[in-house]
Amino acid sequence: MSATRLESRVSAADRRKGAAPESGVAPATGASRRRQRVRAQLAAWAFLAPVVVYLLVFYAYPLLRNLDLSFRDYTLRSFIDGSAPWVWFENYVEVVRSSTFWPAVLNTAVFTFGSILVQFTLGLALAVFFFRRFPLATTLRALFLVPWLLPLLVSASVWAWMLNSESGVVNAAIEAVGGHQINWLTSPQWSLVSVLIANIWIGIPFNLVILYSGLQNISGDLYEAAALDGANAWQIFWRITFPLLRPVSAITLLLGLVYTLKVFDIIWIMTRGGPGDSSTTLAIWSYRLGFGGESPQLSPAAAVGNILIVVAFVFGIIYIRAQRRAERS
Partner 1 sequence: MKRRAVDTVIGVILTAIMLFPLYWMINVSLTQPDRLRHDPPDLFPLNPTFAGYERVLSDQLPYLLTSLVVGLGTVVLTLVLAAPAAFALAKLRPRGRTALNFVLLIAQMIPSIIMAMGFYLIFYNWGILNTIPGMILADSTLAVPFGVLIFTAFMGGIPDELMSAAKIDGAGTWRTFRSIVLPVSRNSIVTVSLFAFLWAWSDFIFASTINRGGDWQPITIGIYRYIGNNTQDWNAIMATAVVASIPTAILLVVAQRYVAAGVTAGAVKD
Positions in 168-207 near partner 1 (CB under 8 A): 168-169, 172, 175-176, 201, 204, 206
Positions in 83-122 near partner 1 (CB under 8 A): none
Shortest distance (Å) from residue 23 CB to partner 1: 6
- The stretch among 111-119, 210-218, 219-227, 236-244 that binds partner 1 (CB under 8 A) is 210-218
Among 33, 34, 79, 224, binds partner 1 (CB under 8 A): 79
In one-letter notation, the amino acid at residue 141 is: R
In one-letter notation, the amino acid at residue 289 is: L
233 binds partner 1 (CB under 8 A): no
166 binds partner 1 (CB under 8 A): yes
Q: How far apart are CA 74 and CA 86, in angstroms?
A: 9
**Contact string (CB under 8 A) for partner 1, positions 2-41, x = contact:** xx--x--xx--x---x-----x----------------xx
Among 69, 104, 118, 192, binds partner 1 (CB under 8 A): 69
Asked if residues 69 and 298 have their Cβ atoms less than 8 Å apart, the reply is yes
61 binds partner 1 (CB under 8 A): yes
Among 154, 225, 227, 233, binds partner 1 (CB under 8 A): 154
**Contact string (CB under 8 A) for partner 1, positions 212-231, x = contact:** -xx--x--------------
210 binds partner 1 (CB under 8 A): yes
Among 142, 225, 227, 233, binds partner 1 (CB under 8 A): 142
Tell me which residue of 230, 241, 243 sits closest to 129, measured CA to CA: 241
Q: Give the SS3 label for residue 72.
A: strand
Asked if residues 265 and 281 have their Cβ atoms less than 8 Å apart, the reply is no
Asked if residues 284 and 308 have their Cβ atoms less than 8 Å apart, the reply is no
Among 118, 124, 126, 185, binds partner 1 (CB under 8 A): 126
Using CA atoms, how far residue 283 sits from 58, 259, 264, 287, in Å, is: 20, 12, 6, 6
User: Cα dihedral sign for 246, 252, 255, 261?
Assistant: negative
Shortest distance (Å) from residue 140 CB to partner 1: 5
Among 34, 35, 239, 262, binds partner 1 (CB under 8 A): 262
Q: Give the SS3 label for residue 316.
A: helix
Residue 72 pairs in a beta bridge with 86
Q: How far apart are CA 286 and CA 307, in angstroms?
A: 10
Q: Which is nearer to partner 1, 101 or 148 (CB)?
A: 148
Q: How far apart are CA 176 and CA 326, in angstroms?
A: 49
Among 101, 144, 223, 237, binds partner 1 (CB under 8 A): 144
249 binds partner 1 (CB under 8 A): no
329 binds partner 1 (CB under 8 A): no
242 binds partner 1 (CB under 8 A): no
Tell me which residue of 249, 247, 257 sits closest to 317, measured CA to CA: 257
Among 19, 47, 97, 232, binds partner 1 (CB under 8 A): 47
Among 62, 179, 188, 243, binds partner 1 (CB under 8 A): 62
Q: With helix as H, strand as E and coil as C, how does 292-314 read? A: HCCCCCHHHHHHHHHHHHHHHHH
Question: Quick one: DSSP state of residue 163?
Answer: T
